[in-house]
Amino acid sequence: KLICTRWDPEKRPTIFQQLSLLGLKIPHIIAVGRLDFLSEGLMVLTNDGDLARALELPSSEIERTYRVRVFGRRFDEKKLDQLRRGFKIKGRKYGPYVTEIVKRQTSNTWLHMKLYEGKNNEIRRVMRKFSLRVNRLIRQSYGQYTLGLVPNPNDLAEVRMTKQIKTLLFKYYKEKAQESQERYHKEKAEHLYLQTQKQEALEAEQETKQKKLSEAYVDLSQTPSDKPLGLGERLLRG
C-alpha cells in the first residue's frame, strides 16, 4: 500500500517514493484527486498545476467511477434510491450518485458508483450515513482514463491528453482569463473611485478655505472716513 502524500509522519511508503523507484525524475508531480491510504485504484499524475486544478474542480464534472464493497447485506433498494436522489449531511449536499448493486456476498455487498465531484472521503462518509462500513474501495476510472491502462499494481503508464481533457483545459484557461479581465476592470474602477473621492475632498477643502477667507475680508469701502484705519485694515487695503 502507498499513501498519497510527499511526506508521512508514520513513515509509510508514498506514491512519490514509488515514482522515484520507477525512474520518474520529472519535478513537481501533482496527484489529481488523491486516494486515502485504505483506498486503491487509478491515480492520475501530472506536472501541470492548471491541468490538475481543472480536473479537480467540481464545475468540471469529471466522472469518477468506483467499485465499492460495504460490509453487510443490509444495502437495500431504499438506500439505493436515496443515493440516486442525493441528500444532505450536516447541511452539505451529497449526490445524486449513479449507483448499482453489482453483487451480494455472505457478508458484503459490492456496488458500482459514479461521482462527479470528489469530496474528501466522500464515499466512506456517505456509507456511514447508512451505518455501513466500506471495507474496500477501488477507483476504476477518472474521466476517460481507466485502470486498464496501467498493467500492474504500483505500476506507471504514460498517457496523452484526450480531446475531453484538452477541451476542459481550454475552458479553464478561458474562465481564468475572464476572471482576470474582470478583476482588472474592478481594480481600475476602484482606483478611479478613490481618485474621485480624493479630488472631491480636495475641492471641498479649498472651498472651505476660500469661504473663511471671504468672511475674514473687510470691505473697507464701508469704513467711515473719519475713523482711523486699524492695522489689519491697512494691510488689507494696502
Across all residues in the chain, what is the average pLDDT?
Answer: 84
Mean pLDDT confidence for 167-172: 88
pLDDT reading at 77 higher than 90: no
- Ordered by start, the domain boundaries in the chain are 15-152, 161-217
The answer to whether residue 81 is catalytic is no
Residue 189's CB is within 10 A of a number of other CB atoms, namely 10
Q: pLDDT grade, residue 192 (50/70/90)?
A: confident
What is the pLDDT, as a whole number, of residue 217? Answer: 60
Cell numbers for 194, please give them. Answer: 478613490
Tens digit of each residue's pLDDT (9 = 90 or more) over 102-139: 998 888 999 999 999 888 899 999 999 888 999 999 99
The answer to whether the CB of 205 falls within 8 A of the CB of 212 is: no
Model confidence, pTM = 0.72
What is the pLDDT, as a whole number, of residue 216? Answer: 66
Top-level CATH class of 15-152?
A: alpha beta
